[in-house]
Amino acid sequence: MRVKKHEVLYEQRQFPISKMYGKKNISVCCPMDKSGVVYFENNHRLYNKDSFKGYTSHLMNHLERTTVGRCCFIMGNVAFHKCDTIKQEIRIRDHRVEYLPPYSPFSNPIENMFSKWKDFVKRSNGINKEQLLSCMDHRITEISVSDCDGWYRNMKEFIRRSLNREIIT
């Protein structure tokens, strides 16, 4: 029997908070697929193995509620992405996990998504933590299906070119 897989790119990033709030960041975990953002959460501290495991558990529960089916999570090379507790949390729910090669931004469409989202947030000129969080919540909806689908097409083209041993600049 063939299993239909749903590819999900899975990363976390930091959004700078304005100078009025101090030199702090808000960390965001946010998976996407070719049809859009799947689920996201903010954290007022950097993610570590424990907080990322909590996020992964919330994501798995969200996926079960939305009946996406089996997924293949494609993650970056952050050390705690590769720890056994994270892999187990994903695999116990009958999903797969794969990792991108180091230094491979061309093969990671989520880099494009974070760049666009971060630009939306910067242009909103939030002056405190609450405004920034509100803007992040609202502006994520401006990442369109056609944006994500286009980023996936670009990724596939870069992979094709890489397999043909073309120099990508």
Domain annotation for the chain: domains and CATH numbers = 7-164 (3.30.420.10)
**pTM of the predicted model as reported, rounded to 2 decimal places:** 0.78
Q: What is the pLDDT of residue 18?
A: 44
Alpha-carbon distances, residue 91 vs 6, 11, 76, 83, 168 (angstroms): 14, 18, 17, 12, 34
Please check whether residue 46 is in contact with residue 111, taking contact to mean a CB–CB distance below 8 angstroms. Answer: no
Q: What is the pLDDT of residue 24?
A: 67
Joined together, the tokens standing for residue 142 give: 């401006």
For residue 85, count other CB atoms closer than 10 A to its CB: 12
Q: Can you point out the beta strands (E) in 6-135?
A: 6-16, 25-33, 36-37, 41-43, 71-75, 96-99
Say yes or no to pLDDT of 103 above 70.
yes
Joined together, the tokens standing for residue 168 give: 């990508």
**In the structure, what pLDDT confidence band is assigned to residue 25 with cuts at 50, 70 and 90?**
confident
Q: What is the pLDDT of residue 57?
A: 94
**In the structure, what pLDDT confidence band is assigned to residue 95 with cuts at 50, 70 and 90?**
very high
Digit-coded pLDDT (tens) for 35-66: 888 898 988 888 889 999 999 999 999 999 98
Alpha-carbon distances, residue 65 vs 68, 69, 81 (angstroms): 8, 10, 23
Say yes or no to pLDDT of 120 above 90.
no
Lowest mean pLDDT among 35-44, 121-130, 142-151: 121-130
**In the structure, what pLDDT confidence band is assigned to residue 6 with cuts at 50, 70 and 90?**
low
Alpha-carbon distances, residue 39 vs 1, 4, 127 (angstroms): 29, 20, 25
Share of the chain above pLDDT 90, in %: 22
Q: What is the pLDDT of residue 10?
A: 58
